[in-house]
Amino acid sequence: MTNVIDGNAVADGIRADLEDCVDTLGDAGVTPGLATVLVGDDPASETYVSMKQRDCEEIGMNGIHVELDGDAAPDELYDTIADLNDDSSVHGYLVQDPVPDQIDYREVIRRISPAKDVDGFHPENVGRLVAGDARFKPCTPHGVQKLLDAADVDPEGKDVTIVGRSRIVGKPLANLLVQKTDGGNATVTVCHSRTEDLADKTRRADIVVAAVGAPELVDGSMLSDDTTVIDVGVNRVDADTEKGYELVGDVEFDSAKEKASAITPVPGGVGPMTRAMLLYNTVKAASQQEDVDVSLP
């Protein structure tokens, strides 16, 4: 029978362990602080940052939220970043992407202190990840690695095909899975929009990760028997529901489930893990900056 991997349950377990870490930090007089910076009023971004703030409060961390107008000058954001870099009560923070056109997101990332870059996007942290010395693993790839572990799927020696080569999912995940460490040692193929015969690459894989942003691109006909399928995609498609849409992944769940030995649903798969791993990185940042040992899950 196919194992439908319950991302909510795995994330709940990680959050419970992180609460213990927050208690340990509390005993040392430290409350981990996560700041979110939102420029403008994009509704999806507002939802994401409010969820991140709520997640923080639920496990006893400090949530700090900073909002700037959508027409804020780059210097205004850079001043905010400089303040957060200097604020010792903020152990980690992120600037919610996308930012308005007048702001260069790459420059934003470069200005964030690498020690507080809990998204793991700063060039120094990207370099450390590639070198096998990660300070912060980016949240979604790290969540995928934890889901594989929770489903007892060891990537070692397996062929993994990742569909998507984005900066935040595909590329860092490929780097994590090829590392010579537990949770790595896989042979990784990374596909993208110029890949020829995608189905050939996915059929050859023991583990397929879809991170594309194309509704139900990967279906059962593209998979071999007993594949593990991790669906990172979140796509809104029109539907006869109260909201007028429903969320679907990059994988056609029903046909893929026929072939898969394990598969993540959308919603309820990778999404909750991304949120949990942001808390993980913030607890780790607090532990590093305050020199307090914690047992990270």
Ligand X SMILES: NC(=O)c1ccc[n+]([C@@H]2O[C@H](COP(=O)([O-])OP(=O)(O)OC[C@H]3O[C@@H](n4cnc5c(N)ncnc54)[C@H](OP(=O)(O)O)[C@@H]3O)[C@@H](O)[C@H]2O)c1
Neighbours of 101 (CB within 10 A): 7
Residue 270 interacts with ligand X (CB under 6 A): yes or no: yes
**Pairwise CA distance, residues 90 & 83, whole Å:** 10
Is 257 among the residues known to form the active site? no
Residues 56, 50, 243, CA angle at the centre, nearest 5°?
135
What pairing do the DSSP bridges indicate for beta strands 260-263 and 207-210? unpaired
Among positions 84, 90, 144, 191, the unique one binding ligand X when judged by CB under 6 A: 191
- List, in order, residues 6 or more apart from 218 with CB less than 8 Å away: 163, 202, 208, 210, 229, 231, 250, 251, 252, 256
> Of 53, 116, 117, 119, which is the active-site residue?
119
Q: Does 190 appear as a known binding residue?
A: no
**Pairwise CA distance, residues 100 & 72, whole Å:** 9
Which CB, 27 or 238, lies closer to ligand X?
238
Site for ligand X in 133-172 (CB under 6 A): 140, 163-166, 168-170
Residues 225, 227, 230, CA angle at the centre, nearest 5°?
145
Which CB, 265 or 294, lies closer to ligand X?
265
Is 238 among the residues known to form the active site? no
**Class of residue 182 by CB neighbours under 10 A (exposed 0-12, middle 13-18, buried 19+):** exposed
Residue with tokens 């607090």: 286
Q: How far is the CB of 24 from ligand X (least distance, A)?
A: 27
Q: How far is the CB of 266 from ligand X (least distance, A)?
A: 8
Among positions 77, 232, 251, 294, the unique one binding ligand X when judged by CB under 6 A: 232
Q: Does 110 appear as a known binding residue?
A: no
Q: How far is the CB of 16 from ligand X (least distance, A)?
A: 20
**Pairwise CA distance, residues 15 & 282, whole Å:** 12
**Pairwise CA distance, residues 186 & 68, whole Å:** 42
Question: One symbol per residue from 41 to 70: x for binding ligand X (CB under 6 A), - otherwise; what is it?
Answer: ------------------------------
What pairing do the DSSP bridges indicate for beta strands 33-39 and 62-68? parallel
How many residues bind ligand X, per CB under 6 A? Answer: 26
Which CB, 140 or 145, lies closer to ligand X?
140
Among positions 235, 255, 288, 289, the unique one binding ligand X when judged by CB under 6 A: 235
Q: Does 50 appear as a known binding residue?
A: no
Neighbours of 71 (CB within 10 A): 10
Task: State the virtual CA torsion across 38, 44, 46, 50 in degrees, nearest 10.
Answer: -120
Which CB, 37 or 168, lies closer to ligand X?
168
Stretch in the footprint of ligand X (CB under 6 A) among 39-47, 126-134, 149-157, 209-217: 209-217
Q: Does 166 appear as a known binding residue?
A: yes
Element (H, E) at 235: strand 235-238
Task: Using CB positions, name the residue nearest to ligand X.
Answer: 166
Q: How far is the CB of 190 from ligand X (least distance, A)?
A: 8
Is 96 among the residues known to form the active site? yes
Residue numbering of the annotated binding site: 164-166, 234
Give me the active site residues, please.
52, 96, 119
Contacting positions for ligand X (CB under 6 A): 140, 163-166, 168-170, 191-195, 198, 211-214, 217, 232-235, 270-271, 274
